[in-house]
Amino acid sequence: MEWYTLLKFAHILGTVLGVGATTLAEIFTIKFAKSDDLSPTEHYILQTCYSVIRWGLALLIFSGFGYLIIWRLNMAGPELFFNSRFIAKITIVGILLFFTLLMNLKMIRMELGSAIAITSWYMAMFLGIWRSLQWSYLVFIAFYVSALIVIYFLLDYLRKRPARERT
Amino acid sequence: MSQAFLIALIAHMLFGLAGIVAFTSFLLLLSRQEWNDDRLRRYAGIGFVALIVAWVSGGYYYTTYYGKSVKPIIIEGTYPWAHQVIMEAKEHAFLFLPFLALVLWIVAWQAGKAFEENEKLRKAVILLTVVTMIIGSAMALGGLVISGSVEKRSLQPTVRSYGECVNAGYPVMLSYPSACRIPDGKIFIQPVQ
């Protein structure tokens, strides 16, 4: 198998694991919010999702670096490296890593962290798939921030909904 | 690029990344209330070794290949500041990393249970780890910008005339007057005396 194919496979697998496990973690968090405390089983399910997210993230980053190595060896130059879509993707993955670290260090609220995580994973996937999209960097980031705000309030609404139903 | 330079460049990038990942794991473990001394030592050791390999391979590539083969391409390209600002900064900041990593490894090796009892020490080591990670991440980002500034077209010799085109070895057409064609499609006609 060619290096490029192997990297592509790893990159797609990393994205699939990351996006899938982040989505599931969010769905389970909303479902489990119905009770005040997490049961050991619920805790175990969420830990499993977080573990899959970590593996997905590691695969995504190492395969992403592999791409960079191939681009550098082929001297792909500014056309690929300084492309607005690529820089936006790097920025979003950087934000995802930074806030994942802050969440692990318990330095930000989980509600904000999970909204950033799910928006970043979907946005990175969207940028990876839609290669013909040629917006400027600022438009990509403005779209990301807008999506983040919408998702934050949407998740907040979904989390609070069972509590309102209980009363 | 020879096989040795190729391996040096790939090792520099991958081991640099591995070093950052190892110290991130070290930081996460250290920030928890219940930690494992063996794992702390292992992560710091892996981080130190990875950064040493990245340092040696990057240093070898930089001193023997980059200066004479890559630097001129960047300087003549669209983004000369990638060398003049970023690489010049990177080559100095880069020197700190193995020493910071060595300090962290020694502290992880020596401190052991002291982290549990001495909160001041734990916070100081966390701060030093964060500094190491910030420098490491800045190195990676700098490397990304430098790699992006290496343009293929800059490798082609500058051709402005028929004579320069022929001397550069580009194909000459059997026509009268003779013509020489460069890869981007431009054709230079032989001046007729």
- Nearest CA-CA distance, residue A62 and chain B, Å: 8
Asked if residue A68 has pLDDT above 60, the reply is yes
Average pLDDT of every residue of chain B: 86
What pLDDT shows up at residue A98?
92
Residue A130 to residues A89, A117, A139, A150, Cα–Cα distance (Å): 12, 20, 15, 21
Residue of chain B minimizing CA distance to A68: B144
Give the mean model confidence (pLDDT) for residues A39-49.
89
- Closest Cα in chain B, distance from residue A162 (Å): 32
pLDDT for the residue B104: 93
**Nearest-CA distance from B78 to chain A in Å?**
9
pLDDT digits (tens, 9 = 90+) for A138-160: 999 999 999 999 999 999 888 88
In chain A, which residues have their Cβ closer than 8 Å to the Cβ of B156?
none
pLDDT at A10: 93
Question: Quick one: what percent of chain A has pLDDT higher than 90?
Answer: 49
pLDDT for res A165:
56
Q: What are phi and psi of A123, to 5 degrees?
A: -65, -40
Query: What integer is the mean pLDDT of B31-60?
Result: 88
Which chain B residues contact residue A7 at CB under 8 A? none
The pTM (predicted TM-score) of the whole model is: 0.80
- Per residue in B138-149, pLDDT (tens digit) is 999 999 999 888
**Mean pLDDT, all residues of chain A:** 88
Does the pLDDT of residue A91 top 80, yes or no? yes
Report residue A95 CA to chain centroid gap.
9
pLDDT for the residue numbered A166: 45
Nearest CB to B151; choose among A77, A90, A105: A77
> pLDDT band for position B33 (50/70/90)?
low
Residues of B in contact with A65 (CB under 8 A): 13-14, 17
Residues 64-103 of B with CB under 8 A from A: 77-79
